[in-house]
């Protein structure tokens, strides 16, 4: 029996290229303390700690929960470490929620982080593997051919990605925690930025950030007495498929479509564009907005770019379904935390506390993906319990 659970505390660090002012422990502690302060609680109120981050090689610390427990009040408590590639921030939130939804715990703290300035994350993603051909391409090199196939298939105008890059940076400029602050960004500036992996230009790619995100998740009884309005978890789902197999649909992966269907079914979402007020979706390269609009059912196949170009996803253009009002992954990307930031920002929206708030938002989607667009995690949160 799924027990009701709610987000009752949210804390984020400043996202920056280098947080030289804090250690890794200091970084996660900053987010955790802010989440506890937001919840009006102390460390003693927490029954378990669930940590997530992307590959340990990004910081060079193996299974860092062992080292970080002292900074996260984990001693004497269960401490779990989740790792599901780029989707890990979302998966960690869902695993944390499971602790409460299973009736096993009353209130847990979940924290995700990446301190990418400790290494070169792009190359830590693509070091040679035994028995496998060496890709040597980084994430952008992996996804660029898939984006080119999307453009070929959909006939999307070539400036679609540029539009997303500008939109998410304008969104991000209204979020003081965002890493990239470019309030005056123009389409021309994006178009003239260096081509990294055709068709992905520098300003169409996510930055590499340091940062951490934390949430407190409580059971129904504790949530009723929480300091801030509780944000109810109405659905949560994860799906995985292999990186490669014959006939795999890579532009709109089946795992993403089925994950969306599962989470929509749980939350009673029939038409995501109408039934949701906003969404925080993992878009690390600009073109993934139109691609995910289709994968997640906000637009028909090959029509996602029309939604993007119409301004429907831009809050400052009065769009009806704003995506990534926080600035998204294109504005801040501490990889292991990026998924949880999506989940946390969706919760802030329905609580009415987002820096770039959608008026009257009640229900929102948080989304994350990882690996070769093969691992997906999503949740639907709402101000309404049912």
Partner 1 sequence: MQDIAIVSYSQSDCVRDAGAQNEVELIMPVLNAALSAVGFNDAQDVDFTCSGSCDYQQGASFAFVMGVDALGAVPPINESHVEMDAAWALYEAVLKLRMGQAESALLYGFGKSSPGELPTVMSQQLDPFYLAPLWVDTISLAALQARACLDSGVLTEADMADVVSRSRANARANNPHAQLAGDVSVETLLSEPEYLAPLRRHDCCPISDGAAAMVIMTVEKARNMGLPYALLRGIDHRMETHNLGARDLTRSVSTEQAAAAADVASGPVDVAELYAPFSHQEIILQKALGLGSETAVNPSGGVLAGNLMMASGLSRIGEVASRIIAGEASRGVAHATSGPCLQHNLVAVLEAA
Q: Which helix (H) or strand (E) holds 124?
A: helix 121-124
Q: Binding residue for partner 1 (CB under 8 A) from 32, 46, 82, 200?
A: 82
Q: Tokens in use for 44?
A: 């003693």
Q: What is the DSSP letter of 56?
A: G
Count Cα atoms within 13 angstroms, Cβ side, for 241.
18
Q: Does 136 bind partner 1 (CB under 8 A)?
A: no
Q: What is the DSSP letter of 270?
A: S
Number of neighbouring beta carbons within 10 Å of residue 168: 30
Q: Does 131 bind partner 1 (CB under 8 A)?
A: yes
Q: What is the DSSP letter of 179?
A: S
Q: Does 129 bind partner 1 (CB under 8 A)?
A: yes
Q: Which helix (H) or strand (E) holds 120?
A: none
Q: What residues between 272 and 331 interact with partner 1 by CB under 8 A?
A: none
Q: Binding residue for partner 1 (CB under 8 A) from 22, 33, 40, 98?
A: 98
Q: Binding residue for partner 1 (CB under 8 A) from 17, 37, 42, 66?
A: 66
Q: Does 242 bind partner 1 (CB under 8 A)?
A: yes
Q: Tokens in use for 270?
A: 């029939």
Q: Does 18 bind partner 1 (CB under 8 A)?
A: no
> 204, 25 in Cβ contact below 8 A?
no
Q: Binding residue for partner 1 (CB under 8 A) from 17, 18, 67, 301?
A: 67
Q: Does 238 bind partner 1 (CB under 8 A)?
A: yes
Taking CA 31 as the corner, what is the angle to CA 234 and CA 345, rounded to the nearest 5 degrees? 35
Q: Does 101 bind partner 1 (CB under 8 A)?
A: yes
Q: Does 76 bind partner 1 (CB under 8 A)?
A: yes
Minimum Å distance from CB 182 to partner 1?
30
Q: Binding residue for partner 1 (CB under 8 A) from 20, 128, 184, 359?
A: 128
Number of neighbouring beta carbons within 10 Å of residue 266: 17
Q: Is residue 111 helix, strand or coil? A: strand
Minimum Å distance from CB 58 to partner 1?
8
Q: Binding residue for partner 1 (CB under 8 A) from 245, 359, 384, 386?
A: 245
Q: Binding residue for partner 1 (CB under 8 A) from 189, 220, 250, 258?
A: 258
Q: Tokens in use for 121?
A: 């994350």
Residue 172 or 235 having the CB closest to partner 1 = 235
Closest CA to 224 of 4, 386, 57: 4
Q: Does 112 bind partner 1 (CB under 8 A)?
A: no
Q: Does 20 bind partner 1 (CB under 8 A)?
A: no
Stretch that binds partner 1, among 28-36, 146-154, 254-262, 346-354 (CB under 8 A): 254-262
Residue 199 or 366 having the CB closest to partner 1 = 366
> 29, 72 in Cβ contact below 8 A?
yes
Q: Does 78 bind partner 1 (CB under 8 A)?
A: yes
Q: Tokens in use for 317?
A: 């253009």
Cα→Cα distances 196→18, 253, 313, 342, Å: 22, 24, 25, 25
Can you tell me the distance from the alpha carbon of 341 to that of 231, in angstroms, rounded to the nearest whole number?
15
Calculate the CA dihedral of residues 47, 53, 59, 65 and round it to 10 degrees: 20
Minimum Å distance from CB 67 to partner 1?
5
Minimum Å distance from CB 377 to partner 1?
9
Closest CA to 237 of 26, 95, 55: 95
Residue 148 or 248 having the CB closest to partner 1 = 248
Minimum Å distance from CB 277 to partner 1?
26
> 364, 355 in Cβ contact below 8 A?
no
Closest CA to 216 of 34, 15, 27, 3: 34
In total, the chain counts a number of residues equal to 386
Stretch that binds partner 1, among 28-36, 139-147, 268-276, 372-380 (CB under 8 A): 372-380
Q: Binding residue for partner 1 (CB under 8 A) from 16, 34, 81, 163?
A: 81
Q: Does 3 bind partner 1 (CB under 8 A)?
A: yes
Q: How many residues bind partner 1 (CB under 8 A)?
A: 66
Binding site for partner 1 (CB under 8 A): 1-3, 23-24, 49, 54-57, 59-63, 65-67, 69-70, 74-85, 91, 95, 98-99, 101-104, 124-125, 127-132, 237-243, 245, 248, 253-255, 258-259, 371-372, 374-375
């Amino acid at each position: 029996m799924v027990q009701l659970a709610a987000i009752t505390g949210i804390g984020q660090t400043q996202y920056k290229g280098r947080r030289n002012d804090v250690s890794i422990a200091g970084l996660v502690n900053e987010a955790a303390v802010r989440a506890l302060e937001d919840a009006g609680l102390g460390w003693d109120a927490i029954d378990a700690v669930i940590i997530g981050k992307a590959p340990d090689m990004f910081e060079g610390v193996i299974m860092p929960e062992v080292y970080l427990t002292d900074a996260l009040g984990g001693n004497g408590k269960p401490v779990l470490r989740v790792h599901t590639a780029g989707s890990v921030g979302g998966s960690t939130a869902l695993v944390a929620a499971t602790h409460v939804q299973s009736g096993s715990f009353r209130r847990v703290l979940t924290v995700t982080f990446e301190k990418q300035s400790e290494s070169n994350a792009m190359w830590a993603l693509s070091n040679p593997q035994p028995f496998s051909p060496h890709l040597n391409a980084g994430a952008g090199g992996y996804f660029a051919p898939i984006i080119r196939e999307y453009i070929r298939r959909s006939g999307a105008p070539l400036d679609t990605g540029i539009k997303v890059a500008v939109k998410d940076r304008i969104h991000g400029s209204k979020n003081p925690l965002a890493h990239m602050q470019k309030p005056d960004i123009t389409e021309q500036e994006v178009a003239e930025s260096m081509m990294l992996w055709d068709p992905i230009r520098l300003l169409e790619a996510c930055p590499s950030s340091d940062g951490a995100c934390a949430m407190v998740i409580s059971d129904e009884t504790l949530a009723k007495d929480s300091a801030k309005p509780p944000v109810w978890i109405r659905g949560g789902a994860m799906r995985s498929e292999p990186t490669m197999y014959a006939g795999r649909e890579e532009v709109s992966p089946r795992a993403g479509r089925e994950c969306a269907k599962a989470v929509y079914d749980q939350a009673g979402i029939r038409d995501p564009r109408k039934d949701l007020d906003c969404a925080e979706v993992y878009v690390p390269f600009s073109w993934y907005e139109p691609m995910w609009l289709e994968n997640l059912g906000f637009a028909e196949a090959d029509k996602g770019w029309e939604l993007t170009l119409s301004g429907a996803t831009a809050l400052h253009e009065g769009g009806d379904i704003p995506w990534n009002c926080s600035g998204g992954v294109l504005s801040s990307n501490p990889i292991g935390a990026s998924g949880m930031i999506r989940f946390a920002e969706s919760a802030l929206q329905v609580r009415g506390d987002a820096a770039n708030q959608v008026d009257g938002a009640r229900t929102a989607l948080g989304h994350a993906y990882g690996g070769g667009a093969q691992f997906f995690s999503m949740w639907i949160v709402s101000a309404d319990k049912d």
